[in-house]
Amino acid sequence: MAYVRVALALLALLLLGLLTGWWLLVFFLGAVAALAWDWFNLRKLEHWLRMTRKLDPPKSAGLWGEIFDGLHRMRKRSRDRDQRRRTLVRTYRDSIKAMPDATVVLSGDYHVEWCNQAARDLLGLRWPQDEGQRISNIVRHPEFVTFLSRYSREPRTITLPSPVDGRLWMEVRLVPYAKKRHLLLARDTTALRRLETMRSDFVANVSHELRTPLTVIYGVSETLGQELGEHPEYARSVQLLQEQAERMKNLVDDLLLLSRLETGGATGQGHWIDVSKLLSTLVEEGRLLSGAREHQITVETEPGLMILGNEKELRSAFANLLANAINYTPDQGQIDLRWWSDAAGAHFQVRDTGIGIAVQHIDRLTERFYRVDNGRSKSRGGTGLGLAIVKHVLMRHGGQLTIRSEPGKGSTFTCSFPPKILRHPAQRHDRESA
Among 138, 355, 393, 421, binds ligand ADP (CB under 6 A): 355
Residue closest to 335 by CA, chosen among 291, 301, 267, 286: 286
Measured CA distances, 183 to 103, 134, 178, 186, 261 (Å):
7, 14, 10, 10, 33
Nearest approach, Cβ of residue 431 and ligand ADP (Å): 22
Q: Considering the rule CB under 6 A, would residue 382 count as an interface residue with ligand ADP?
A: yes
Q: Please state, in angstroms and rounded to a whole number, the distance separating the CA atoms of residues 144 and 292.
A: 53
Nearest approach, Cβ of residue 255 and ligand ADP (Å): 12
Q: Considering the rule CB under 6 A, would residue 319 count as an interface residue with ligand ADP?
A: no
Whichever of 144 and 328 has its CB closer to ligand ADP, that residue is: 328
Among 372, 394, 401, 415, binds ligand ADP (CB under 6 A): 372
Residues 6+ apart with CB under 8 A from 311: 270, 271, 273, 278
Helix (H) or strand (E) holding 257: helix 232-263
Q: Considering the rule CB under 6 A, would residue 325 count as an interface residue with ligand ADP?
A: yes
Q: Considering the rule CB under 6 A, would residue 333 count as an interface residue with ligand ADP?
A: no
Q: Considering the rule CB under 6 A, would residue 286 count as an interface residue with ligand ADP?
A: no
Whichever of 225 and 381 has its CB closer to ligand ADP, that residue is: 381
Measured CA distances, 152 to 4, 133, 175, 286 (Å):
70, 21, 9, 41
Among 111, 187, 211, 371, binds ligand ADP (CB under 6 A): 371
Among 57, 286, 309, 354, binds ligand ADP (CB under 6 A): 354
Residues 6+ apart with CB under 8 A from 321: 348, 350, 386, 390, 413, 415
Q: Which stretch binds ligand ADP (CB under 6 A): 126-134, 180-188, 267-275, 372-380?
A: 372-380
Measured CA distances, 298 to 52, 91, 119, 319, 355 (Å):
89, 66, 56, 15, 19
Partner residues linked to 338 by β-bridges: 300, 349
Residues 6+ apart with CB under 8 A from 419: 343, 344, 345, 346
Whichever of 56 and 363 has its CB closer to ligand ADP, that residue is: 363
The number of residues that bind ligand ADP (CB under 6 A) is: 23
Among 41, 221, 267, 377, binds ligand ADP (CB under 6 A): 377
Cβ-based burial of 359 (10 A; exposed 0-12, middle 13-18, buried ≥19): exposed
Please give the full DSSP string across 17-56, using - where no structure is assigned: HHHH--HHHHHHHHHHHHHHHHHHHHHHHHHHHHH---SS
Nearest approach, Cβ of residue 359 and ligand ADP (Å): 12
Per-residue HEC secondary structure of 79-95 comes to HHHHHHHHHHHHHHHHH
Nearest approach, Cβ of residue 163 and ligand ADP (Å): 38
3-state secondary structure of 170: strand
Nearest approach, Cβ of residue 385 and ligand ADP (Å): 6
Nearest approach, Cβ of residue 326 and ligand ADP (Å): 9
Whichever of 173 and 371 has its CB closer to ligand ADP, that residue is: 371
Helical segments of 52-141, H only: 62-98, 117-123
Whichever of 372 and 401 has its CB closer to ligand ADP, that residue is: 372
Whichever of 188 and 352 has its CB closer to ligand ADP, that residue is: 352
Q: Please state, in angstroms and rounded to a whole number, the distance separating the CA atoms of residues 147 and 231.
A: 65
Helix (H) or strand (E) holding 271: strand 271-274
Q: Which stretch binds ligand ADP (CB under 6 A): 235-243, 260-268, 280-288, 386-394?
A: 386-394
Q: Please state, in angstroms and rounded to a whole number, the distance separating the CA atoms of residues 294 and 288.
A: 9
Q: Considering the rule CB under 6 A, would residue 326 count as an interface residue with ligand ADP?
A: no
Confirm if 405 and 417 have CB atoms less than 8 A apart: no
Distance of CA 392 to the CA centre of its chain: 17
Q: Which stretch binds ligand ADP (CB under 6 A): 34-42, 261-269, 366-374, 425-433?
A: 366-374
Whichever of 275 and 372 has its CB closer to ligand ADP, that residue is: 372
Q: What interhelical angle do 23-51 and 2-20 show, nearest 10?
A: 150
Residue closest to 197 by CA, chosen among 253, 263, 265: 263
Among 139, 297, 299, 387, binds ligand ADP (CB under 6 A): 387
Q: Which stretch binds ligand ADP (CB under 6 A): 80-88, 210-218, 261-269, 322-330?
A: 322-330
Whichever of 85 and 312 has its CB closer to ligand ADP, that residue is: 312
Among 64, 328, 339, 417, binds ligand ADP (CB under 6 A): 328
Residues 399-418 binding ligand ADP (CB under 6 A) are 411
Which residues lie near ligand ADP (CB under 6 A)?
320, 324-325, 328, 352, 354-357, 365, 370-373, 377, 382-388, 411
